[in-house]
Chain A
């Protein structure tokens, strides 16, 4: 019986389990490779969830996660598993799967001794999985390669077993083959986890040190902090210190998740669980921070902590200006649960009052935007995403630019832009295509490796700004959907960048200002002026639309003056219709914004801003 009976279970009670009986692991997988389904199956097989209580993808709590099939916030579930005559406590630590959350992933990995590398047997490994695999191997995790979805007709387990064996070392025969859907091979995987993954090691008598790998805001409980105990022991009612901030809190509650919270008398070496201290803001419980005992504090924090740093900025504006306070309240609420979210108010001539919001990346941006619209019922316009520039002026002043319209106009000595190290996996036939695209985007090739006969890994340095626009969409469409992308920050570089302003009748439209490479300024100007010409309705006077770099106009279009609006017959049977049309036009007028004396429908801004495509989205379609 793989589920231990009462006698054996007594030996794996929380706060009383010997480290040798604990296995801490995570699952590394690409978004749609079936991680959640496999996790669900494990919950069922270990008996912690009754089959009838099983919700599909139990661990993905938020609606958006469920619908998009992505896991934003990790959780840790404790499961019993018997191998031979011994019961074990398995802690499955869920990791975010997306590149925007690399730091969170690295902290989740640091809480584990091993990782299940889960790959779709019909698709092979993807670039993001590769990135997380590198992270796991750097953390010296034991890797258990597993092919999932072997029940699919398109599965090619032999081919991909070889690919995995090449990557992690070992024999293709050792690659486990499972189906999360049917449950085939999952018991063998649980056995393998117990056999292969090392037990945690720590000093039970040392001052307590526990690493925070996640913190989540709960409306009723306040912040729930997930920790992995490295040394010592944490107990309820004692005072703890967050070592990065020196803030002290009382441990109101301590427990494990299985998969509902179970209050325990504490957590010992190697154990994974949650803490509640009554704080209300996740910023007081920072991922990567070390928790220690206030009375008997550890001398040194665990390594690897860093503050989240926003990489991508976008202006968020309510379509209806009166929603501004509601947007502010909504951001304040989201912030409680998202330590990486930061924002400050800004005003746009074109869009009114809104916020400049910093994000970890594009997916983070999309998720925040979607949550604002869905959970808070807000109708939003977002400006094209941009990165942060460090500008040094001739007089040595340094300016950080998070909004293109604030790019300084004076004499500029140097502009630094963030760059990333991008990894792209693609079938070998697309190597030329991918190289061409990266070249267009100012990429520099770092290297290239064949993963298998027909799959290639290409590595580039690319300006982040070139990726946030529409890079991913282009990559996907030019490789018929086969390429996958991963990137990580890789410092800054000096670049020849200029700000292109868009002017309507001489008035700058701040929402359309963009910072682009000098060589691309003309293209941007031509593209944007042409697009605006299409969507700005004719006015009673001629409206020039110009793109300018400083005082130099680089592109120009003209919206000709409107000459007539009504000349149709107006007879008795037509009066109602005419009146209603007019009432409708007047209603439409309320959705107009004035740029100088030019009336622009707000929808035109939305159209101009949205059709650029925010790129970078790699999420599953809504599950059918």
Chain B
């Protein structure tokens, strides 16, 4: 698991800094978009590559069991209502809700529905709100998906990772790839939008293996695909396996070739990129919750280890506050039961840091950034990046910074050159 960032302490009552205020910018109703993330930290098994904050049943106990999770999460929703009300930010309905994990569908569908209802009670869901849950293909049934749809979920994102058994085995994924098309059709029958998640560059995965996975995704006929290069994070079992020489580290050229293949096949099939690692059939099928992260909107993260962000809403020494909850479910449960903030630490972003984040996140998306948003000293770098084929020339002429395919592969380089 990645360590939590270093930061200052969060006040016991979770209060936001006094400089946070409702923003005059944003939609016509005067509020910045607001999203809610719910972290469900449970899995049936831990996969060797996974560095997310998640636990198998055997790792837990004492007030943090899965049965009590919905109740515990709703206690944090209550806290969030108090904190946002106190800052004058309480009246915004949630534009997006996203249940991630872990494996949210480890919980009974009724529990997920109950948490969503609590969020709706607290803030309301905006008209046409996007409500997503991540799911494992083998942790859903036609019935459970229907329960979710009835409760207001609009979207499900399946962790498919690969269609190739030996690749799934290396990743220690337990689902049967043949189950994926079924799960997709059950979800669609229930009226849910469906996304499939893929991982490429797993040790032992050939280019043909990867092509097979992409073709399987296209055959399933989904409208949204995420494809991530495997990153072997320190602290994972896979990291240890690589260190011991049991697995060969994925090669960056191989990953680049696989990215290009994915972009080609998905684009041909009508799924266009809207973020470096995300493709959708038209902008309306993009994941709005993730777009909110990349656009710097406000969001509240519920659950152990979840991060939250609220912009300052005005010019000053600070641009926003980001905080993160304690990671262990037991400690998390104890804090929220006591009515205290589960926040483990927070950072108060300076305008310069926020600017760096804006560029860092902004270039990842298809719409890109206005050139005007760059630091004046770096605007001249755009021409060089266009010349080197990393930025789209037509977009640049029209005043926007948009990555080319080659630029998407080298986005870090682009960001370094575009920031002072």
Task: Report which A residues bind B (CB closer than 8 A).
Answer: 540, 560, 562-580, 582-583, 585-586, 589
Contact = CB atoms under 8 A, between A and B. Distances in A.
Contacts of A585: 412, 416
Given A540-B388, A571-B293, A573-B324, A578 B360 contact: yes
A480 B306 CA distance: 59
Contact of B419 (A563, A569, A570, A586): A586
A63 to B, nearest CB: 38
Given A575-B293, A583-B356, A563 B256 contact: yes
8 contacts: A562-B410, A563-B410, A567-B229, A568-B228, A570-B276, A570-B361, A570-B364, A580-B5
A564 B231 contact: no
A567 B5 contact: no
A612 to B, nearest CB: 29
Given A576-B307, A589-B416, A565 B410 contact: yes
A563 B411 CA distance: 11
B307 A567 contact: no
A575 B356 contact: no
Nearest to A541: B388
B412 A565 contact: yes
B356 A572 contact: no
Contacts of B255: 564, 567
A552 B95 CA distance: 67
B252 A572 contact: no
A564 B252 CA distance: 7
Interface string B261-296: 000000000000000110000000000001001100
Contacts of B329: none
Nearest to A562: B410
A17 to B, nearest CB: 72
B276 A566 contact: yes
Size category of the B interface is 35 or more
B247 interface: no
A573 B388 contact: no
Contact of A540 (B2, B361, B413): B413
- 10 closest residue pairs by CB, A with B: A563-B256, A567-B229, A564-B409, A565-B412, A564-B256, A573-B307, A566-B412, A568-B231, A576-B5, A572-B293
A586 B416 contact: yes
Contacts of A583: 356
Contacts of B294: 570
Most interface-central of B277, B305, B412 (chain A CB within 10 A): B412
B155 to A, nearest CB: 16
B111 interface: no
A564 B263 CA distance: 14
Contact of B410 (A540, A571, A577, A589): A540
Interface of B: 2, 5, 37, 100, 226, 228-229, 231, 252-253, 255-256, 259, 276-277, 290, 293-294, 299, 301, 305-307, 309, 322, 324, 347, 353, 356-357, 360-361, 364, 388, 390, 409-413, 415-416, 419
A582 B419 CA distance: 10
Contacts of A573: 301, 305-307, 324
A322 to B, nearest CB: 20
A576 B419 contact: no
A571 to B, nearest CB: 7
Contact of A564 (B360, B410, B415, B419): B410
B416 A567 contact: no
Contacts of B353: 579
B305 A569 contact: no
Given A571-B293, A582-B419, A563 B360 contact: no
Given A571-B100, A575-B293, 9 more contacts: A566-B410, A566-B412, A567-B409, A572-B293, A572-B307, A573-B305, A579-B353, A580-B5, A582-B415
Contacts of A562: 252, 410, 413
B388 to A, nearest CB: 7
A465 to B, nearest CB: 41
B248 to A, nearest CB: 18
A562 B416 CA distance: 15
Contacts of A586: 416, 419
B288 to A, nearest CB: 13
Contact of A579 (B2, B305, B357, B410): B357
A568 B229 contact: yes
Nearest to B201: A567
A586 B420 CA distance: 9
Nearest to B406: A563
B299 A572 contact: yes
A318 B90 CA distance: 57
B228 A567 contact: yes
A237 B412 CA distance: 74
A472 to B, nearest CB: 36
A568 B357 CA distance: 16
A563 B307 contact: no
B411 to A, nearest CB: 5
Given A564-B252, A567-B276, A579 B356 contact: yes
B385 to A, nearest CB: 10
A569 B275 CA distance: 10
B5 A577 contact: yes
B325 to A, nearest CB: 10
A576 B323 CA distance: 10
Contact of A560 (B231, B253, B361, B409): B253
Contacts of A564: 229, 252, 255-256, 259, 409-410
Contacts of A568: 228-229, 231, 277
B409 A565 contact: yes
B104 to A, nearest CB: 14
Contacts of A577: 2, 5
Contacts of B228: 567-569
Nearest to A589: B416
Contact of B309 (A567, A572, A580, A582): A572
B361 A563 contact: no
A167 B63 CA distance: 86
B356 A582 contact: yes
A225 to B, nearest CB: 57
A381 to B, nearest CB: 25
Given A573-B324, A576-B307, A582-B415, A567 B259 contact: yes
B416 A576 contact: no
A585 B259 CA distance: 24
Contact of B253 (A540, A563, A571, A575): A563
B330 to A, nearest CB: 20
A582 B417 CA distance: 11
A560 B409 CA distance: 15
Contacts of A563: 252-253, 256, 409-410
A553 B411 CA distance: 36
Most interface-central of A567, A580, A585, A589 (chain B CB within 10 A): A567
Nearest to A578: B360
Contacts of B256: 563-564
Nearest to A570: B364
B229 A572 contact: no
Most interface-central of A563, A572, A583 (chain B CB within 10 A): A572
Contacts of B416: 582, 585-586, 589
Contacts of B364: 570
Contacts of B411: 565-566
Contacts of B100: 571
A582 B412 contact: yes
A566 to B, nearest CB: 4
Nearest to A580: B5
A462 B5 CA distance: 59
A565 B368 CA distance: 18
Nearest to A583: B356
Contacts of B253: 560, 563
Contact of A572 (B226, B277, B301, B347): B301
Nearest to A585: B416
A583 B353 CA distance: 9
A357 B364 CA distance: 51
B76 to A, nearest CB: 15
A44 to B, nearest CB: 56
